[in-house]
Amino acid sequence: MYRQSSCLRPAYRALQRTSNSSLAKSFPALSRPSSSRRLYSASTALKTSPTSLLRPVLPSPRIARLSSTPPVRNCSYRRHNMCRTQALADVASGVNVQSRELLPANVIPRHYHVTLEPDFEKFTFEGTVLIDVDVADESKSISLHTLDLEIHSAKVTAGSETISSSVNVAYDEHTQVSTFSFDNAVAKGTKAQLEVSFTGQLNDKMAGFYRSTYKNPDGSEGIMAVTQMEPTDARRAFPCFDEPALKAEFTVTLIADKKLTCLSNMDVASESEVQSKISGGPKKAVTFNKSPLMSTYLVAFVVGELNCIETNDFRVPVRVYAPPGQNIEHGRFSLNLAAKTLAFYEKVFGIEFPLPKMDQIAIPDFAQGAMENWGLVTYRVVDLLLDEKVSGAATKERVAEVVQHELAHQWFGNLVTMDWWDGLWLNEGFATWASWYSCNIFYPEWKVWQGYVTDSLQRALGLDSLRSSHPIEVPVKRADEINQIFDAISYAKGSCVLRMISTYLGEDTFLEGVRRYLKKHAYGNTQTGDLWASLAEASGKSVEEVMQVWTKNIGFPVVTVTEKGDNTIGLKQNRFLRTGDTKPEEDQVIYPVFLGLRTKEGVDESLTFDTREADFKVPSDDFFKLNANHTGLYRTSYSPQRLEKLGVAAKQGLLSVEDRAGMIADAGALATSGYQKTSGVLSLLKGFTTETEFVVWNELIARAQSVQMAWLFEDEAVRDGLEAFLRDLTCAKAHELGWEFTENDGHIQQQFKAMLFGNCGLSGDETIIKAAKEMFAKYMAGDKSAIHPNIRGSVLGMALKHGGKEEYDAILNFYRTSTNGDERNTALRVLGRAKDPELIKRTLDLIFSGEVKDQDIYMPTAGLRGHPAGVEALFTFMTENWDRLVEKLPPALSMLSTVVAICTSGFTKPEQLARVEKFFADKSTNGFDQSLAQSMDAVRSKISWLERDREDVAGWLKENGYLK
């Protein structure tokens, strides 16, 4: 799954290239991902649970409420291997299966036949499911997951014998488990079948089997029925064993009007005419071929009016679907890329794609960026459909990464699946790494590994530098905890760990280990140790011993370098916290640090630093740098003298682009935490004005903006001085490159020009502001060629920042009238730049207006965090509308956590933090507690930073002429 947080990658990048970029780094939710993701959760991305807006589900007379949970199954690893030996192995590997809320192990699901008929008028669906099970223990009950389903009837058969046609059903609301009890026991070793008839809710919460709406070309509203099962919402669609280790085969039948298209994971086996249970009239029943063994969270089906394009460039048909109102030809880029990517992954992974087709579909209401359902990948419209005439280079790169991320999951996640959600990173970390790896192969001119240093790596280090972070392998006990781990740790840090080990082992060896892992565990479930074992087998190195430290512990180290003379450097590692107040008990872990020592002789990847302190020899003390290309997961703290020498080395061409960008990122982060003075970092940034590379400039600007955002509530003169500094930093280069775009501009050059144009103009450059106003006027008058797509967001942002109601109305009308998702998103994101109280209120009112889809409500709100009035208004709005927000965005999904983080993370003062703490003191934070804790930690970090360096920054600004 690509998170709209790990979906918020586009928002993150947009922010990074305009005046709010530091928000994304201090606020992991705006990084993503959540795959698949899904992405960067819109908080650290996006997704939610229980149902206050849904029609109440009334139990039938025979359904009782349970106050206790059903018996707990203690072994979830491989269901066919339910034995004490496996339980002991799990304990030995540090897996606490006994703390998980799991279904009883008395039966094992083997096959489901699910039949569903959606009702587009009542927003419900009628369903039956026949589940074939193996009976592991003599049983008089079967427990499985259900949520918002009204059970009508159930019966149990074994062979030709009906065990019970009168089944009692008891429901445990806490665990979302229905227990089906019957009078006659089913014998151990037999095969049985449970048949259940039910009604479900075709909800509007973007979870389970739900409804999505869209505008038809004639302006009328269309409805389609779609799915999002990950992580635990298959239980909303049909009664099931909703745990990833309980793989089974699935046969799906969809009943619908004959004019509608029906899709599922597999290809169509048959189609027949049937009588509708809902209308009584004739409809079609589309039955799909039986799937391979797979987890419930990967089951998918769609019913709706759809257009389609297809290619036969791959071994099996590849298609893109979209509802009416979307130009299906805009799916051509993703279609062709998917065909090439599937062929590429078959070669890289050494296993053929096992399904008979690959469908991709654009869904108008979708909480994530995309979801990797096997054979039927679902996407946000903007993450699948690309109109290159109205979208910039960054959007194209985003679409390519999302498509390649989801297709990597077809092997890593679908074919081989983590056994439980604490192994989520196995899915998301690998798919994130694979998307960068394949993008680099397909589009070498994009230089994505350079961007990795300022994107995935900084998102990972940013979130993991908070006390409220979590391990890559995070213990998960209950369903309501799962959504919160779709964040920058599972996605970005997971991918960084894989990047680190692939560099250490060598890419070819790493991929050989991956191939062995996939072949050994195909159609099964794994734990992290299984991957390490395959990599160890391929490399001959003790991978698990080294890597489990990185996956089972929170945080990462800062390595402090002391130069001792005689070509010797002393290294010391300590846990790095952004707040700069690491306690001794928090600094117990010793990380195996791959040093990646760069000297004039090249890069030595063999050195590992795995003690608290150690000395290392360097060939010469005139030039060395640790963490070559920044493939290691750590910060490096040099002396001011060494930093100065590295600055000279950069100008001499001795450092790679990744080295330069990473060195700036480290310096900025170390200033935040008190290892260095902020004045020194500002001087470092000022010394890079001759830099020529986009990625390095990206990081220069982001670090300058991080100071701006931490100083957001300081004296206006200081804020103006920081803005003037950013203007001086960027504008000479912006004017040098210009803001005209030609066919000769490459992918990176387009983004470079756009970034400098936006940051220079938004920091007050009169020439660019004048040009932007002229473009804006022509564009809003109907000349769509007046603004190039690469700078559309910046131009609209400048128009609002230096305009008023007239510009606001024009942009809002543009949002309402545009039919292009990318254009509409751009308009939404810039609305928050307006500072007038009346306009701020109008922006916030959009949340409940019905004009903005629930999937997009983070967009207008996020823009408000760029100025003090907006930050204050966000918190006030949240507190005054809390009950409405909870009703609209159920906490167990993920959008509420995104909104909470947006509304609280912009603060910088102790009294503001106290207001946040007081507001939530008497409220349940289940479903977003981790996001809230991370937001407050980010605020604490800014408070500490200001206390240390408030006068230091003021002094530097005055000394450099930015403050009188």
Catalytic positions: 406
Q: Does the annotation flag 521 for ligand binding?
A: no
- Write the burial class of residue 493 (CB in 10 Å: 0-12 exposed, 13-18 middle, 19+ buried): buried
CA-to-CA dists, residue 257 to 114, 203, 299, angstroms: 18, 20, 22
C-alpha torsion angle, residues 144, 150, 155, 156 (rounded to 10) = 0
Of 350, 383, 238, nearest in space to 300 by CA: 238
Distance, CA of 52 to chain centre:
26
DSSP reduced 3-state for 681? helix
CA angle (159 as vertex; 158, 164 as ends), nearest 5: 35
Of 654, 699, 656, nearest in space to 681 by CA: 699
Q: Does the annotation flag 405 for ligand binding?
A: yes
DSSP state of 659: H
Asked if 302 and 209 count as a contact pair (C-beta separation under 8 A), the reply is no
- Spatial distance between the Cα atoms of 5 and 12, rounded to a whole number of angstroms: 8
- Spatial distance between the Cα atoms of 17 and 694, rounded to a whole number of angstroms: 11
DSSP state of 69: P
Asked if 133 and 109 count as a contact pair (C-beta separation under 8 A), the reply is yes
568-575: strand order across its sheet: 613-617, 568-575, 557-565, 635-637
- Spatial distance between the Cα atoms of 31 and 885, rounded to a whole number of angstroms: 23
DSSP state of 167: -
Asked if 496 and 487 count as a contact pair (C-beta separation under 8 A), the reply is no
C-alpha torsion angle, residues 628, 632, 638, 643 (rounded to 10) = 40
- Spatial distance between the Cα atoms of 464 and 554, rounded to a whole number of angstroms: 7
3-state secondary structure 111-140: EEEEEEEEECCCCEEEEEEEEEEEECCCEE
| Consecutive H or E run containing 141 | strand 139-145
DSSP 811-855: HHHHHHH---HHHHHHHHHHGGG--SHHHHHHHHHGGGTSSS-GG
- Distant-in-sequence, close-in-space partners of 280: CB < 8 Å, separation ≥ 6: none
Q: Does the annotation flag 397 for ligand binding?
A: no
DSSP 435-469: HHHHHHHH-GGG-HHHHHHHTHHHHHHHHHTSTT-
CA-to-CA dists, residue 9 to 24, 414, 491, angstroms: 9, 23, 11
- Distant-in-sequence, close-in-space partners of 189: CB < 8 Å, separation ≥ 6: 135
- Spatial distance between the Cα atoms of 490 and 40, rounded to a whole number of angstroms: 10
- Spatial distance between the Cα atoms of 805 and 962, rounded to a whole number of angstroms: 31
Phi then psi for 872, rounded to 5 degrees?
-65, -40
Query: Which residues in 381-416 are b (16+ Cβ under 10 Å) and which e?
Result: bbbbbbbeebbbbbbbbbbbbbbbbbbbbbbbbbbb
Of 233, 204, 238, 226, nearest in space to 123 by CA: 204
| The total number of residues written for the chain in this structure | 964
- Spatial distance between the Cα atoms of 228 and 245, rounded to a whole number of angstroms: 18
- Write the burial class of residue 173 (CB in 10 Å: 0-12 exposed, 13-18 middle, 19+ buried): exposed
Annotated binding residues, written as ranges, equal 405, 409, 428
What are the binding residues for Zn(2+)?
A: 405, 409, 428
